[in-house]
């Protein structure tokens, strides 16, 4: 792919704070343009394409809802961060991915304040987020900690240890499970089967309905944030 895609909405975004001014419809358009830009860049440099394409909408939603880099978004698998890099001030160098003196193919702390944790592979995001949450509560720079982890990574022992410790310490943090039924090989095992049953079962559907009602009790700014995040992740076009 030699011709770069036309991206008028993405052209208006230099840092994640710019997303706050976009309407819901513009955020949907932005996600489409971000996907096209990611494909265009990787067609030049090579790299891991599928992982990033799978989190385009999630990346837009996270940066639209949270206050990064004060809020720390920690990607469990570093090579899904290409769309994240485009939105966080590195678009002008995105076609240097994995090149000498270019952008790293993974998150890299020395590269940007939007990369709070350097990661490649995998299952470390929950423990890292817990560390940021603990540091915050000890007088750090504040902000939330958000771990984004897939169903494949969730099956590793380190993820279970981190969840065990997080539950014990009761720190405020977010864990987003990207259950896309994808890993380096087809998902197998008890956890994968359990997640499939969980989403299809009546208790989970009842929980979704209850959560929808609970959102209506939140203050208006939080309701708006929850609504926008939900619609972005569902891909609803207004």
Is residue 107 in a domain?
A: yes
Is residue 147 within a helix (H) or strand (E), and if so which, with residue range?
strand 145-150
For residue 184, what are the CA distances in angstroms to 51, 71, 76, 82, 150?
Answer: 11, 29, 14, 18, 11
> What global pTM score does this model have?
0.80
Tell me what pLDDT residue 237 has.
42
Is residue 56 in a domain?
A: yes
Is residue 22 in a domain?
A: yes
Cβ atoms within 10 Å of 96's Cβ, excluding its own: 16
CA distance 59 to 104: 18
Cβ atoms within 10 Å of 202's Cβ, excluding its own: 7
Tell me what pLDDT residue 238 has.
38
Q: Which two tokens stand for residue 6?
A: 């036309």
For 145-157, the pLDDT digits (tens) are 999 998 888 888 8
Domain containing 106 equals 10-185
Is residue 85 in a domain?
A: yes
CATH of the domain at 40: 3.40.50.970
Collapsing DSSP states into helix, strand and coil, what is residue 175?
Answer: strand
Is residue 222 in a domain?
A: no
Tell me what pLDDT residue 155 has.
80
**Comparing 108 with 121, which gets the higher pLDDT?**
108
For residue 126, pLDDT over 50 is answered with yes
Is residue 208 in a domain?
A: no
For 89-105, the pLDDT digits (tens) are 999 999 999 999 999 99
Count how many domains the chain has: 1
Number of H helices, E strands in the chain: 10, 3
Q: Minimum mean pLDDT among 19-28, 148-157, 169-178, 208-217: which range?
A: 208-217
Is residue 2 in a domain?
A: no
- Length of the chain (residues): 238
Is residue 211 in a domain?
A: no
């Amino acid at each position: 792919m030699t011709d770069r895609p036309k991206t008028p909405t993405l052209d208006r975004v230099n840092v994640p704070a710019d997303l706050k001014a976009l309407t819901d419809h513009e955020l949907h358009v932005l996600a489409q343009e971000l996907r096209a830009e990611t494909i265009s860049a990787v067609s030049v440099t090579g790299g891991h394409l599928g992982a990033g394409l799978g989190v385009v909408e999630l990346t837009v939603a996270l940066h639209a809802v949270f206050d990064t880099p004060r809020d720390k978004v920690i990607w469990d698998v570093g090579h899904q961060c290409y769309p994240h890099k485009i939105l966080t001030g590195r678009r002008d160098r995105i076609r240097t991915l994995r090149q000498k003196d270019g952008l790293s193919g993974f998150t890299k702390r020395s590269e940007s304040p939007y990369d709070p944790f350097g990661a490649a592979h995998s299952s470390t995001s929950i423990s890292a987020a817990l560390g940021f949450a603990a540091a915050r509560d000890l007088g750090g720079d504040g902000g939330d900690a958000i771990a984004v982890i897939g169903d494949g990574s969730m099956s590793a022992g380190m993820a279970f240890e981190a969840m065990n410790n997080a539950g014990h310490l009761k720190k405020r943090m977010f864990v987003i499970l990207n259950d896309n039924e994808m890993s380096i090989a087809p998902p197998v095992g008890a956890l994968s089967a359990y997640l499939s049953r969980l989403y299809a079962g009546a208790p989970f559907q009842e929980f979704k309905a209850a959560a929808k009602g609970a959102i209506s009790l939140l203050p208006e700014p939080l309701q708006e944030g929850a609504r926008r995040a939900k619609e972005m992740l569902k891909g609803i076009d207004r």
